[in-house]
Amino acid sequence: MMGDTMTGQMSKAYDHPASLPIPARIRLARELRGLTQRQVVAGTGNALSAPALSQIESGRLRPSEAAVVNLASALDVPPEFFSAQWPVDSEPVTYFRDLRSTSIRERRRARAQAVLLGEFVTALEQHVRIPEVDVPERPVGSDATAAEIDDIAMLVRRAWNLGDGPIGHVVRELERHGIAVARLTLGTVKVDAFSTRTGVRPLVLLTDDKSDNYVRSRFDASHELGHLVMHEAAEPGTKQVESQAQNFAASFLLPEASALEELPSRLDATGWSRLAEMKRVWGLSMSALLYRARTLRVLSPEAYQAAMRYMSARGWRKQEPGDREMGAPEAPMLVERSMRRAEIEADVSVEDLVRTAHLPIDDMHDLLAAAVDDRPIVEL
């Protein structure tokens, strides 16, 4: 028999004083665990029903204190997690590369992890100063041309004083301009990277599940920057939006003038050698260089398709020549250094931050461990 764990009258919605659970927080915890409402109910020992949980999550039913404790136990979060009020959106618009290749559950779980990280960074900012957000916003419509996107990519380069040459460290540039970047393990190979704005500070999440490829990771970071610059109000996951972000990344990493000057127009032995050298200098994959050549009409569509068939026949679509020599992907540093600064100068440990922010401790340990680069630092 279901226990009597609910109090209050049914209503359209209820107000949320600081001491009361916020419906979106309960849903966030469930999505973090990748569970259905029925699975959560089973985890409470059927202390409440699935319809009751649905009404709680929609804000039409106020849970009792006992229900909150049961839900917290089933979802493995502190009870205070449900009532934490952050200037962070619990359901932010999130840009995933291909909605068809990822399930709704996978996307929601990844988004929930991003929200946790965003809340942690917000808590961290109470103790340390992080670079202010400096991301130019240039919204585009579905009819934006490749030339217009080239111009936007150059505008960002100019705003960030990057000049026209190769970008030494893409992730570091994002962090210098206020974007929190983390490298996470999500447990699925279907997510390359994604970006979102959980609050004031945008987040870019790069994943290790599919690839530890240096050049691909740089392109992923640039692709997500394109979303942050151009797509605040766009529908995420559409073919057009993803194509625009792809064009932005290619333009951001290799400006048009340099591309036209350096890209080979013929793919004989000399042309392929030229691509390999450009890959090393510009930190851009041969596939991306060919994509750039096609977009700028340095190569005809037929020549581009022939080049891609050539790469496929040699297995270069999975691993290109020179990939291993390029080294490990760029490592984010902003969150890690901010944590160290808070501990050294403000005497606030990571555990202190997680506890006072009412975040699930085990999840945060996993997220922050993945976000920290443990390689020894060589001081020069």
Neighbours of 309 (CB within 10 A): 11
Assess contact for 210 and 189: CB atoms under 8 A. Answer: yes
- pLDDT of residue 238 exceeding 60, the answer is yes
The three-point CA angle 222-228-234 to 5° equals 120
160-213 pLDDT per residue, tens: 999 999 999 999 999 999 999 988 776 655 666 888 887 778 999 888 755 578
- Among candidate residues 184, 227, 217, 331, the one with its CA nearest the CA of residue 285: 217
Residue located via tokens 């500070």: 201
Confidence tier at 19 by pLDDT (50, 70, 90)? very low
Question: What CATH code would you report for 23-83?
Answer: 1.10.260.40
The answer to whether the Cα torsion of 81, 235, 139, 181 is positive or negative is positive
Q: How do 202-207 and 180-184 pair as beta strands?
A: parallel
Give the model's pLDDT for residue 260. Answer: 96
Confidence tier at 87 by pLDDT (50, 70, 90)? low
Same fold, 23-83 and 94-253: no
Assess contact for 2 and 53: CB atoms under 8 A. Answer: no
> What distance lies between CA 143 and its chain's CA centroid?
25
Question: What CATH code would you report for 94-253?
Answer: 1.10.10.2910
- Mean pLDDT, residues 217-238: 89
Confidence tier at 10 by pLDDT (50, 70, 90)? very low
Q: Please tell me the distance from the alpha carbon of residue 25 to that of residue 18, in angstroms, as a whole number.
A: 12
Instruction: Please provide residue 95's backbone torsions phi and psi, each rounded to the nearest 5 degrees.
Output: -100, 110
Q: Spell out the domain ranges in the chain.
A: 23-83, 94-253, 258-326
Q: Please tell me the distance from the alpha carbon of residue 83 to that of residue 54, in angstroms, as a whole number.
A: 18
Structure tokens at 235: 């529908």
DSSP per residue, 242-267:
HHHHHHHHHHHHS-HHHHHHHS-SS-
Give the model's pLDDT for residue 106. Answer: 83
Counting residues of the chain whose pLDDT is more than 90, the rounded percentage is 66
Structure tokens at 214: 């240096």
DSSP character at residue 2:
-
DSSP per residue, 47-67:
SS-HHHHHHHHTTSSPBPHHH
- pLDDT of residue 99 exceeding 60, the answer is no
Higher pLDDT, 12 or 207: 207
Give the contacts of 77 (CB within 8 A, at least 6 positions apart).
29, 32, 360
- Among candidate residues 172, 276, 289, the one with its CA nearest the CA of residue 162: 172
> What distance lies between CA 169 and its chain's CA centroid?
18
- pLDDT of residue 276 exceeding 90, the answer is yes
Q: Please tell me the distance from the alpha carbon of residue 116 to that of residue 90, in angstroms, as a whole number.
A: 9
Give the model's pLDDT for residue 198. Answer: 74
Give the model's pLDDT for residue 22. Answer: 85
Q: Please tell me the distance from the alpha carbon of residue 293 to that of residue 301, in angstroms, as a whole number.
A: 10
Assess contact for 118 and 199: CB atoms under 8 A. Answer: yes
pTM of the model: 0.86
> What distance lies between CA 284 and its chain's CA centroid?
20
- pLDDT of residue 379 exceeding 80, the answer is no
Structure tokens at 380: 């020069």
Instruction: Please provide residue 364's backbone torsions phi and psi, each rounded to the nearest 5 degrees.
Output: -70, -35
